[in-house]
Amino acid sequence: MTGYAFPPSPFPAAPAATGAVRSGQNVAQLRAAQARYQADAVMSASPERLLTMLYDRLVLDLERGEAAQQAADWAEARTQLQHAQAIVAELNASLADTWEGSAGLRGVYAFLTSTLIDANVSRDPQRTRACLDLVAPLRDAWHQAAQQVGSASAPAVATAFPAQAHA
C-alpha cells in the first residue's frame, strides 16, 4: 500500500479549528439558547409569575451589588444597582392606581429608588443592605400571593381541562 495516493475529496476542506474556537462557539451557542429559553419563559409567564420573577431578580441584584461593594468592585456594584433601579422603575410603572395599596407601594418604590441611587453614588453597602432588607419580605409576600392565585385557579383548570387535571 505504500505509494498509494487517495483521490482528492469532492468536499471542500473544513477550516482548521482549534479546540478553543470550537469551545468558544459552543459557549456562545449555549448562551444564545439560554437567552431564548429565558425570553420564552418571560413571554409565557402569567402576570403573577412575572411579578415574582422581577422580585427574585431584584433580590439577586441587591445581593450581588452589596457583595461587589464589600469587595470594592465598584463597576460591578454600579451595574447591579442600576439594574435593580430599572426593576424598581418597572415595578412602579406596572402598578395599577385602582388598587387600594398602590399609593403605599409607590412610596416604597420611591424610597428604594432614592436609596439605591444614594448607595451607588456613596458606595455604601449598608444602604444596599437596607434595600435588600425591605425587598426580601415583599418578595416573599408576593410569592405567597401568587401561590394563592394559582391554587384558586386550579379547580377552574380542572373543570375546563379534565384530562390535564390528572396529568
Per-residue pLDDT reduced to its tens digit, 32-58: 776 665 666 555 578 888 999 999 999
Query: Model pTM?
Result: 0.68
Residue 2 pLDDT > 60 = no
Per-residue pLDDT reduced to its tens digit, 53-79: 999 999 999 999 999 999 999 999 999
Residues 99 and 90 sit within 8 Å (Cβ to Cβ) = no
Measured CA to CA, the distance from residue 157 to residue 54 in angstroms comes to 26
The CA-based angle 31-20-13, given to 5 degrees, is 105
Burial class, 22, CB count within 10 angstroms (exposed 0-12 / middle 13-18 / buried 19+): exposed
